[in-house]
Amino acid sequence: MKRIGFDRINRKKTVGTVVRILLAVLLPVFLFACSGNPSLQQIEKESDNPKLAAAVLHRTDSILARGGLSDEEEGRMLLAKVKAQFFMSYVTQNFPPDIDSAITAAVQKLERHDSPKLAESYYWQGMVSNLCYGKPVEGMVALENALLILPDADPEFRARLYQQLSTVYEQLGNFDMAVRYMQQMVRIMDSRDDPVGQLVTHYDISTIFRQNGQKDSADYYLRLAIRERAKFNDHRFDIFNEVFGSYYLEQNDLPKAKYYLSRALMADGRMPDAQLGLARIAWMEHRPADAQRCLQRAVTLADSLYRADGSYRTPMVSFLRSLARFYSDTGAKDEELHARRRLDTVGTVLARHNARLLNEASVQEHDYLARKLEQENQRQNRLRMTFAGIVVLLAGGYVFLLARRYIRRSRERLGKLRRKTYRQTHEIGKLKGQVKEYSKTQADRIIDGKPLYESIERGTATMEGWDKDTQERYICYARFIDPDVFATLSEKLTAKPTIFFYLWKKGYNDAEIARIMNVSNGSIRTMRYNIRRQKQQGDDTNIST
């Protein structure tokens, strides 16, 4: 009981030591995972609000200038700064010159630490590249990078990402991909109670369908947008009037077409499609002077847009196609031929430009995936090394505890063995003396029993008058010369039954045995009965065992 108590105490000590080692290893990891700067988190939250852009920019500049941030925290602050700069400069299109370097540095820092903000940084890198610097290829690659690691639990951010991807693919002339991403955004918006979002997405997807030549799908979503536009009395949605008017013009609903086209926003006078629609209405209403004035204005606006901004290449193709159709309807064959030739030229240039951009995008995306794979391998290697270090540390501590326990028990067993050895050595010494004494006595008894045995064997004497010691000397000599006979005895018998058993095994009959032993026949039968019963009891005991 005392030994069991000590084992329990040692086991409790071992468990307590292991728990302390685990706490010492895991506590720093837990504290690092739970650590966070509340002020930085507040800035990140406020950076999504355009109204707080100025305050966020001021705070991020002061924090970055003060320093003392980790590499990941610095990347998060750079991302918040880029968002604030974008919100403050998007309306005027007067972006700071360092906004691209800031977002690139933020992405690199967040990539090194596989930050949860990495997908958002890719998104803003795509926004800055496409909208601030007119680089749709770089924007597309960054947005696709964001889509690769975007978590499924953020449908709002996913919808914004789909919208930007659709826009950038539309600029690259890949309308199939633009439609694909816009359809995914439409599914997200239709599942939410957001009339404004549904209006914008239905309008955008109808525009892309129309550019892709899918007129039925374009008309379906445009009718949805027109129905949703009627719910709002807000002039901000007049940006849709040009497309609404073009749709009603195709349906020969001239009053509605004229209403929407005449109220299209004339920002910078850059509305060639609206002016072309008004020219067609004037021609259908037999007002040639108004038709010619609107037509001339539409062509002038389109030419100025095409020369000033390369992003108007794709809309220019659609405009030239509508212009050629207008000339065909009015019978101006020469102007129609000139418009179609120019359409072929612009279309060829656009196709080559888009092919080059897509090739560049493929190369950049391949480089990104290779770099991402290398970073993932490095991250996994770091995790493996960290895990292996923790396992080795825990295993070392556990082995150390086991070794201490084994050494302690080995010492205890060694002490027991030494004490047992001393005891056994003492007992062996005593037994040696007893064996020597016993061997000498046994030899004397065998020598004394030889003449007794020989006289019985020759039949010259009987056992009449033998005492117990004489009988034992006879048995000792008989056992010495016939050990196999005595080996069949399962139990030790007294002297007379032993002599009877030996003589019986030697082949003497009962009468001869009675004469030699000088006993009656009844005694012989009794001894035989006792030997048989004893043998049967021994067999039953062996069977039960």
Q: What single-letter amino acid sits at 358?
A: L
Q: How confident is the model at residue 181 (pLDDT cuts 50, 70, 90)?
A: very high
First vs last Cα of the chain: how many Å apart?
32
- Looking at residue 137, its pLDDT comes to 84
Distance CA 306, CA 323 (A): 15
Give the tens place of pLDDT for each residue, 294-303.
888 888 888 8
10 Å CB burial of residue 138 (0-12, 13-18, 19+) is buried
Distance CA 459, CA 464 (A): 13
Residue 453 domain-assigned (yes or no): no
- For residue 35, what are the CA distances in angstroms to 21, 38, 111, 410? 22, 9, 20, 47
- Looking at residue 309, its pLDDT comes to 65
Q: How confident is the model at residue 32 (pLDDT cuts 50, 70, 90)?
A: very low
Give the tens place of pLDDT for each residue, 194-240.
888 888 899 889 989 988 888 899 999 999 998 888 888 777 777 78
Nearest Cα neighbor of 251 from 218, 287, 275, 294 is: 218
Q: Contact 217/182 with Cβ under 8 angstroms?
A: no
Residue 347 domain-assigned (yes or no): yes
Q: How confident is the model at residue 5 (pLDDT cuts 50, 70, 90)?
A: very low
- Looking at residue 469, its pLDDT comes to 84
- Looking at residue 28, its pLDDT comes to 47
CATH number for the domain spanning 310: value is 1.25.40.10
DSSP classification of residue 375? H
Residue 364 domain-assigned (yes or no): yes
Q: How confident is the model at residue 438 (pLDDT cuts 50, 70, 90)?
A: low
Is the predicted pLDDT of residue 472 greater than 70, yes or no?
Answer: yes
pLDDT above 70 coverage of the chain, percent:
86
Give how many domains the chain has, as a whole number.
Answer: 1
- 489 or 463, greater pLDDT: 463
State the Cα angle at 217 between 211 and 219, rounded to 5°: 85
Give me the chain's average pLDDT, please.
Answer: 80
- 269 or 419, greater pLDDT: 419
Q: Mean per-residue pLDDT for 243-272? A: 77
Distance CA 146, CA 372 (A): 12
State the Cα angle at 544 between 540 and 545, rounded to 5°: 115
Is the predicted pLDDT of residue 411 greater than 80, yes or no?
Answer: yes
Which residues span the domain enclosing 339? 234-377
- Looking at residue 266, its pLDDT comes to 59
Residue 18 domain-assigned (yes or no): no
Give the tens place of pLDDT for each residue, 481-500.
888 777 776 567 777 888 88
pLDDT above 90 coverage of the chain, percent:
10
Residue 356 domain-assigned (yes or no): yes
Highest mean pLDDT among 180-194, 238-252, 466-480: 180-194
Give the tens place of pLDDT for each residue, 34-89.
445 668 888 888 888 888 888 999 999 999 988 888 899 999 999 999 999 888 88
Residue 440 domain-assigned (yes or no): no
Residue 333 domain-assigned (yes or no): yes
- Looking at residue 7, its pLDDT comes to 47
Q: Mean per-residue pLDDT for 357-369? A: 73
Nearest Cα neighbor of 272 from 312, 236, 244 is: 312
Residue 269 domain-assigned (yes or no): yes
Q: State whether residue 544 is helix, strand or coil.
A: helix
Residues with Cβ within 8 Å of residue 139, at least 6 apart in sequence: 125, 126, 127, 128, 129, 130, 131, 164, 168
- Helix residue spans in 67-149 (DSSP H): 71-89, 99-112, 118-127, 136-149
- 388 or 433, greater pLDDT: 388
Global pTM exceeds 0.85: no
Q: Comparing 76-85, 181-190, 525-534, which segment has the lowest mean pLDDT?
A: 525-534
